[in-house]
Amino acid sequence: MFKYPGGRQYKVKETEEAVQPLHQNYGNRGMTLEEDLNSTNEYYREHGIAIIHKKPTPIQIVRVDYPKRSAAVIKEAYFKQASTTDYNGVYRGKYIDFEAKETRNTTSFPLKNFHEHQIQHMRQVLQHGAICFVILRFASLGEVYLLDASHLLSFWERQQSGGRKSLTKQEIEQYGHHISLGYQPRIDYIRVVENIYF
């Protein structure tokens, strides 16, 4: 059980659960988006392409059961603070910051997958001139897109003004950039970053 800094219990929403992608092709062998991105980032580091890391989620462990020394089980923990985005690092001298999300939907991407504090963080990153985006995976379709954070912020504002609570797949295709899946690296988002931002 995890709790937020005020003591409120954290409950996993259906949209936040790990989504298992289809076993469709060699670049998508049953791994989650996070595993694919971690593998990709390791490839980038090993080949001197970019230095991108997954940010750890800051938690404070409160209670641990030790049924035996080799099998400690965390029974209660609290989030120390709200997390920002999933990944950050440097590519060609520019700071990069991005969030990664996936859905089983095939026609839209729910904005409820994002949190207000993440949106605020992305807005601040953009204000400082850094590269900021989201990587969106349609798990059932095996499709991955990179969407610049400025577009996500526009869609978020539309929702705040009473508009759609999701991005249509057509909007993502129009404003985003398809990322081809491969073997090494699995999700070559730096190729897209190079084309858009450099």
- Where in the chain are the domains? 14-56+82-197
Taking the whole predicted model, whether its pTM rises above 0.85 is answered as no
Q: What's the pLDDT at 61?
A: 73
- Split the chain (198 residues) into runs of 10 and give each run's mean pLDDT: 59 46 37 90 97 80 76 72 83 97 95 94 96 96 97 97 96 97 94 96
Alpha carbons 99 and 195: distance in angstroms, whole number? 19
Question: Do 18 and 113 touch, CB atoms closer than 8 A?
Answer: no
* Class (C level, CATH) for 14-56+82-197: alpha beta
Which residues fall in the annotated binding site for Mg(2+)?
84, 86, 99, 118
> What is the bridge-based pairing of β-strands 73-79 and 2-3?
parallel
Token pair 């593998």 is at which residue? 39
**Annotated binding residues, as ranges?**
84, 86, 99, 118
pLDDT of residue 24: 36
Q: For position 15, what pLDDT does the model report? A: 43
pLDDT at 14: 46
Rg of the chain, C-alpha, whole Å: 18
Choose among 114, 184, 173: nearest CA to 146: 173
pLDDT of residue 96: 97
Q: Which pLDDT value is given to residue 55?
A: 83
Please list the residues that pair with 101 across neighbouring strands.
136
By three-state DSSP, how is residue 126 classified? Answer: helix
